Amino acid sequence: MRTRNFAVMAAAVVLAGLLAACGGGKNGGSAPGIVIDESNQTKADSVIEVKAKNFEFDQTEYRVKTGAVKFHFVSEEGVHGIRIPKTGIELRDGQTVTVTFENPGEYEIVCNIPCGTGHSKMFAKLIVEA
């Protein structure tokens, strides 16, 4: 009995450690120099709205400056979301996240919901300028 309890506790501790190591949260990990603020308490230097419909985004390129950028995502037609790999950004319809970019860079924006026949063609670019 005593050994079993210990095993369960040890497993729980290991699991908690793994979750902490991964960063947890729906946005997963972000690259160094990128800070995600899901509660949007950070004062944004700029705001961008990304809109999606079947089966494209409203722009092929979104340009922002380094600093705190508030991203708002709207799915105007169909069910879409966005994921920006390497940044930790992941949004569904109506969601907002404030992200601080310390460095310039280029990232791909993809749809993160299997939305239909045009899903694999849904991509755009995020360009963070100095």
* Residues near Cu ion (CB under 5 A): 111, 113, 115, 119
The burial class, CB within 10 Å (0-12 / 13-18 / 19+), for 124 is: buried
Q: Nearer to Cu ion by C-beta: 35 or 79?
A: 79
| Residue type present at position 31 | A
Distance (Å, whole) CA 38 – CA 115:
24
Nearest approach, Cβ of 53 to Cu ion (angstroms)? Answer: 11
Q: Nearer to Cu ion by C-beta: 35 or 110?
A: 110
Q: Nearer to Cu ion by C-beta: 74 or 113?
A: 113
Q: Are 54 and 67 in contact (CB under 8 A)?
A: no
Nearest approach, Cβ of 12 to Cu ion (angstroms)? Answer: 36
DSSP 3-state assignment of 8?
helix
Nearest approach, Cβ of 112 to Cu ion (angstroms)? Answer: 7
